[in-house]
């Protein structure tokens, strides 16, 4: 059983919002990765696979930037 006010206390913490944003980026990255793997396995057109690869690289860069930014912000 969680302590009363536990979630509220977490939500007030600056890391909570940061963690949610990084998690959203990581979720997007995972989704794009799974699609990219599936499309590569299905012999989709190279343009589609390249587009997904660029999208994956962007999602990875975003998640990495957010994580580094928030770590540096709170250090």
What digits encode the pLDDT tens for the residues 6-37? 767 767 777 778 788 888 988 999 999 999 99
d(CA 30, CA 44): 19
d(CA 44, CA 53): 13
3-class secondary-structure state, position 54: helix
Q: Taking the complete model, does pTM exceed 0.85, yes or no?
A: no
Nearest partner of 52 among 67, 27, 30, judged by Cα: 30
Task: Give the start-to-end residue ranges of the domains of the chain.
Answer: 17-73
Higher pLDDT, 57 or 4: 57
């Amino acid at each position: 059983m969680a302590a009363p006010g536990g979630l509220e206390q977490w939500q007030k913490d600056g890391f909570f919002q940061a963690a949610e944003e990084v998690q959203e980026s990581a979720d997007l990255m995972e989704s794009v990765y799974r699609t990219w793997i599936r499309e590569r396995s299905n012999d989709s057109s190279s343009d589609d696979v390249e587009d997904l690869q660029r999208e994956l690289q962007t999602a990875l860069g975003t998640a990495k930037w957010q994580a580094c930014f928030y770590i540096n912000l709170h250090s």
